[in-house]
Amino acid sequence: MQAGCCEAHLIYDLHAHSNASDGNLSPEALVARAVERGVQVLALTDHDTTGALARASLAAAESGLVLIPGIEFSTQWMGRGIHVVGLNIDPTHPVLQAGIASQLELRYQRAEQIAHKLSKMNVKDSLVGAQQLAGDAVIGRPHFAQYLLNAGYAPHFAGAFKKYLGAGKPGDVKQCWPEMATVIGWITAAGGIAVLAHPDKYEMTRTKLCTLVQAFREAGGRALEVVSGKQLPGVAEKLAAIANQFGLLASCGSDFHVPNQPWQELGAFGKLPSSCEPVWHAWQ
Ligand code: AMP
Ligand code: MN
Ligand code: MN
Ligand code: MN
């Protein structure tokens, strides 16, 4: 298995989560695992928070890992949920922090709406349950999924998404996020590079995806995540062609959340196709 994307002997993983959002490793444990897995440049990209970056940077400095400050924002475009990763951001930038504050408020409001919808499906106490599981982390659907599993409403984690929380399911709250272009503006203001995350996950036709990519580019987006975790054969080549068609740089990352999920393990993904220009050229 090729470990991450490499150039000049460096191995890059530019999409990963800690327990500041919906991952389950502390920032220190995440950095240690990345080092163990041979990753040399890691971007920590928690959902809608920069809360773990300071601790991750300290741990990285001690272990010789290069830590790229990042974030993964939830946005919408044409009514669909789209994730935009910001790489090499200034985490202290006031525009970025104002955006984060409003995302956190939206997440709290959404959690109340999810709980209300679930209560109509006879699921009790899910707001308190999800909040307890989230603790200090940014609350998200995975905390509801874990509650549904723990309380016996779902047979397994994926089943909670399938029955309750996934797109189009009763607990799915639509169109609660800011427009994609607005969020690209926050990232750009903070000196970061906006990356369209895991394009293959949106299950769009090529035509629709190209329309999305064009809108992303016009709003100031700079890169496409050409490799995300383990993808089916041919996906990276298809995305590389789209990145090149629209003049975008190419990023790669595992989208790591928790250990023992080999399909999104730190550093465990294929190489960027050689036709791509890697996103790290923008900051080297
Ligand atoms: P949220 O950011 O609260 O909307 O939650 C989205 C997160 O839920 C994603 O980043 C994944 O970590 C997780 N997720 C989404 N869909 C699924 C699924 N079908 N099975 C397991 N986890 C999922
Ligand atoms: Mn997640
Ligand atoms: Mn995502
Ligand atoms: Mn992610």
Q: Best of 161, 163, 169, 203 to mutate for ligand 1, by most ligand atoms within 8 A of CB?
A: 161
Task: Give distance in angstroms: CA of 72 to centre of ligand 3.
Answer: 7
CB atoms within 10 A of CB 29: 15
Distance 147 CA to ligand 2 centre (A): 16
Domain-located, residue 153: no
Q: Which domain holds residue 86?
A: 5-91+193-282
Question: Would residue 22 count as lying in a domain?
Answer: yes
- Atom of ligand 1 lying closest to residue 141 CA: 3
Residues having CB closer than 6 A to ligand 1 are 22, 47, 74, 140-142, 157-158, 161, 166, 257
Length of the chain: 284
Q: Do β-strands 80-87 and 193-196 pair in parallel, antiparallel, or remain unpaired?
A: antiparallel
**Statement: residue 162 has pLDDT above 90:** yes
Count the domains in the chain: 1
Least confident of 81-95, 135-149, 162-176, 226-240: 162-176
pLDDT digits (tens, 9 = 90+) for 6-46: 555 689 999 999 999 999 999 999 999 999 999 999 999 99
* CA of 40 relative to ligand 3 center, distance in Å: 22
pLDDT of residue 10: 80
Residue 261 CA to ligand 3 center (angstroms) comes to 16
Ligand with an atom nearest the CA of residue 229 = 4
- Which residue's alpha carbon is nearest to atom 17 within ligand 1? 161
Q: What percentage of residues in the chain have a pLDDT greater than 70? A: 97
SS3 of 114-157: the string is HHHHHHCCCCCCHHHHHHHHHCCCCCCHHHHHHHHHHCCCCCCH
Share of residues in the chain with pLDDT > 90 (%): 93
How far does the centroid of ligand 1 lie from the alpha carbon of residue 63, in Å? Answer: 30
Q: Residue 1: its pLDDT value, please?
A: 42
Asked, for residue 30, whether it belongs to a domain, the answer is yes
Q: Is residue 182 part of a domain?
A: no
Mean pLDDT of 40-57: 98
* CATH number, position 202: 3.20.20.140
pLDDT value at 3 more than 60: no
Q: Report yes or no on 29 lying in a domain.
A: yes
**Under the phi-then-psi rule, with left for phi > 0, alpha for psi from -120 to 50, and beta for the rest, what region is 33?**
alpha
pTM flag (> 0.95): yes
Q: What is the pLDDT of residues 205-216, one digit of tens each?
A: 999 999 999 999
For residues 164-187, average pLDDT: 92
Q: Report if residue 24 sits inside a domain.
A: yes
Does a structural domain hold residue 145?
A: no
- Nearest CA owner, ligand 1 atom 13: 142
**Structural domain includes residue 138:** no
For 83-119, the pLDDT digits (tens) are 999 999 999 999 999 999 999 999 999 999 999 999 9
Q: In this predicted structure, what is the pLDDT of residue 8?
A: 53
